[in-house]
Structure formats: C-alpha cells, structure tokens
Amino acid sequence: MTATAYNYKIFPPDGDVEAFSNFSSYLKVGNTAPDPELVDLATGGAARLSDYSAQGLTVVEFGSLT
C-alpha cells in the first residue's frame, strides 16, 4: 500500500470495511506479532514494541486524533 493510498485525504466511502472484515482472520492470540521500527516521539529515536514486551505484558493501543 502506497503512502498516498494509506493516508487517504477523504474518508473512504466504505470506511475501509475490508480491514474490519479481515481483522478476525489473522494475527491471532498465540501468534508472534510483527516488530517494525517505530519512532519514539520523546527521543526522536527508533523504538520497537519488543523493547517493551521483553519487560512484561505490554498494552499497545493504536490511534490518531480521531
């Protein structure tokens, strides 16, 4: 998915219903979650979820301003 398609300017007519319909069918409980590189806003440096999950249970919430 390109950056332009991913960062839509207009809310898609179907509300990205494809993502909702696919959610329950992959990355199940018991699977190993991916560990892509993220940017820590506080430091500007690279961070990964595994940096946190190595220390114990880690609650990961995804979201934006809306």
Partner 1 sequence: MQDLYADQHVQSVFVYVREAHPGEIYGHHDTFERKIEYATAFRDLFALRRPLLVDDLTGTAHNAFGRLPNMTYILGPGNRVVFRADWTDPPTVKAALDYLLAIRQRRREGARFAPFYAEIEGARWVDQAAFNAGLARNGPRAVTEFVEAQQRWARGEHLGAVNRRREAPTAAPDETP
Is 15 a binder of partner 1 (CB under 8 A)? yes
What is the nearest approach in angstroms of partner 1 to the Cβ of residue 5? 9
Q: Cα–Cα distance between 37 and 50 in angstroms, integer?
A: 10
Would you count residue 14 as binding partner 1 (CB under 8 A)? yes
Minimum CB–partner distance for residue 46 and partner 1 (Å): 10
Q: Is 7 in the site for partner 1 (CB under 8 A)?
A: yes
- Does position 45 interact with partner 1 (CB under 8 A)? The reply is no
